[in-house]
Amino acid sequence: MDQSPTIHELRNRARPFSVAEYADLFGIRPQEVYRKIRRGDLPVLRVGRTIRIPMRTVLEMIGEPPHDGDGAA
């Protein structure tokens, strides 16, 4: 992402984040994201070998309460 999305844009996002998107959003390396996942510090969705970070997790990380119906598990 070239610029940080607004809270409104995050809440309206229809799909979960990839590891690379999450890393870019928080300004960290993807390796750090994988480290957080391995430690159990970052709840993720796994579909086969694919890892996705749900919107609920992103909102909680930035201190925003998720709202009902945001499509996050």
Q: Going from the N-terminus, what domains does the chain have, and what CATH number goes with each?
A: 7-61 (1.10.10)
Which residues are paired to 52 by β-bridges?
45
Mean pLDDT of 53-67: 83
What gap in Å lies between CA 62 and CA 66, rounded to an integer? Answer: 11
Q: Can you give the pLDDT at residue 73?
A: 46
Distance between CA 57 and CA 62 in Å, rounded?
9
Q: How far is CA 24 from CA 5, 48, 61, 68, 69, in A?
A: 11, 23, 14, 26, 25
Q: What is the pTM of this model?
A: 0.74
